[in-house]
Amino acid sequence: MEILKIRLIYEVLRYLPNQQASMLVAMLWGDVSGISKEFYNQMVVTGLIHILVVSGSNLMIVVKGLIELLAQWLGRKQSIILGITIGWLYVSLVGWQIPATRAVIMVTIMYLGQLLGRKTNFLRMIILVLMIMIVADYRVLSSVSFWMSFLAFMAVSQNPNEGVIKTTLRVNLWLLPLLAFKFGYLSLMAPLSNLMTLFLVETITVLGFLGIIFHPIWWLLYPLLVYIEKTVQILSMPSMAQVRVSFNVWMMVASYVIGVGYYMRKKHV
């Protein structure tokens, strides 16, 4: 698989200009070695760095979007089987990276109930996934990437049949307190930059993988990648693009308690 990955990266670099090729390689395979330090920092400032890595949250969003898209033509059960299969194949292609592996396990569990024709209990499913992950390796409790994947899983599983744009916005909302605690700042531009670009992530990912079969498809991605690049460069310019905040662990926990409480209350209204 590693040889195949290297070969595909080479092919992308042949078909697209360096900057756009590096962006596509990062989005598909998590290889950011071709991304300049300046552009990387701009992605961080605008709150979009997560689209350049093979993160658990992005994997879940893409697999879910693929399943919901295929369900319109193949039927729900067939689309779930195909979507999950593609998710596992993708994890194998990127080298079984831990965040991606955890994410595909979580999304598999999420759709298992639907596949078996059973109604899913949101709270019970969340607890089950958390227990499975802790039993498999208790050290995940201290891993930020695990909590990012887990929070994304919570956001996605709230409404599995929801559209990709709403799901993406909810995922980013759930991740906000954790990111504020870890990095110490919130990006004022993050909501706007995510709203302006995240709807393209699924399209770029799907077309990117189709390009593996027919390389000229990658040319179609050039204007989309340029759009993301220019958006990031423009939104990273203001000095107020980020604001420092003091956000301790108790504030983070309180944010999630309030969030879960609001969801459970709304669910029973």
CA quadruple 54, 59, 62, 66: dihedral positive or negative? Answer: positive
Mean pLDDT by 10 residues, the chain (269 residues): 75 89 86 87 80 70 78 86 87 75 81 75 73 79 76 72 69 79 71 79 79 85 94 79 69 85 68
The whole-number pLDDT of residue 39 equals: 92
The whole-number pLDDT of residue 55 equals: 63
**Contact present, 83 and 205 (Cβ < 8 Å):** no
Nearest Cα residue to 87 out of 70, 68, 64, 110: 64
The whole-number pLDDT of residue 228 equals: 94
Q: 53's torsion region: left (phi>0), alpha (psi -120 to 50) or beta?
A: beta
